Amino acid sequence: MFLYFGLASGFMAGLWVVFCVLLFKRMWRITCFRIFDEICDKVHGFVSVTWLSTNKQTKTMHGPAAAFVLLVAATTCSYLLVITQALRHPPQPPAVAHASDGVICRPHEKDALLAFKQGITSDPAGVLASWRQGVPGQEEDDCCHWRGVRCSNRTGYVIKLRLGSSANNYDGYALVGQISSLLSLDQLEYLDLSMNNLEGSTGDIPEFLGSFKSLKYLNLSGIPFSGRVPAHLGNLSKLQYLDISGADGTVSVDLSWLTRLQFLEHLNLKTVNLSKVADWPYVVNMIPSLKFLDLSDCLLATANQSIQHHNLTNLEWLDLSGNYFHHQIASCWFWNLTNLKYPLAFHSPACTANFLSHWEA
List b or e across 295-320, with b for residues whose CB sees 16 or more CB atoms inside 10 angstroms.
bbbbbbebbeeeeeebebeebebbbb
53 contacts: CB under 8 Å, gap ≥ 6: none
- The model's pLDDT over 118-167, given as tens digits with 9 standing for 90+, comes to 999 999 999 999 999 876 766 677 999 999 999 999 999 999 999 998 76
Confidence bin at 218 (pLDDT 50/70/90): very high
pLDDT at 329 over 70: yes
Q: Which tops the pLDDT comparison, 26 or 209?
A: 209
Predicted confidence at residue 116, as pLDDT, reads 96
pLDDT at 55 over 80: no
This prediction has a pTM of 0.68
Percent of the chain with pLDDT over 70: 63
pLDDT at 21 over 50: no
Q: CA triplet 299, 304, 309: central angle to 5 degrees?
A: 120
What is the amino acid identity at position 13? A
Q: Which tops the pLDDT comparison, 90 or 267?
A: 267
Residue-range domain boundaries for the chain: 2-88, 107-360
Q: Which CATH superfamily is domain 107-360 in?
A: Ribonuclease Inhibitor (3.80.10.10)
Confidence bin at 245 (pLDDT 50/70/90): very high
The one-character DSSP state at 230 is: P
**First-last CA distance in the chain:** 91
Q: Rounded to whole angstroms, what are the CA distances from 323 to 253, 255, 289, 343, 344?
A: 17, 17, 24, 15, 11
Q: How far apart are CA 51 and CA 58, in angstroms?
A: 10
Predicted confidence at residue 345, as pLDDT, reads 47
Confidence bin at 28 (pLDDT 50/70/90): very low
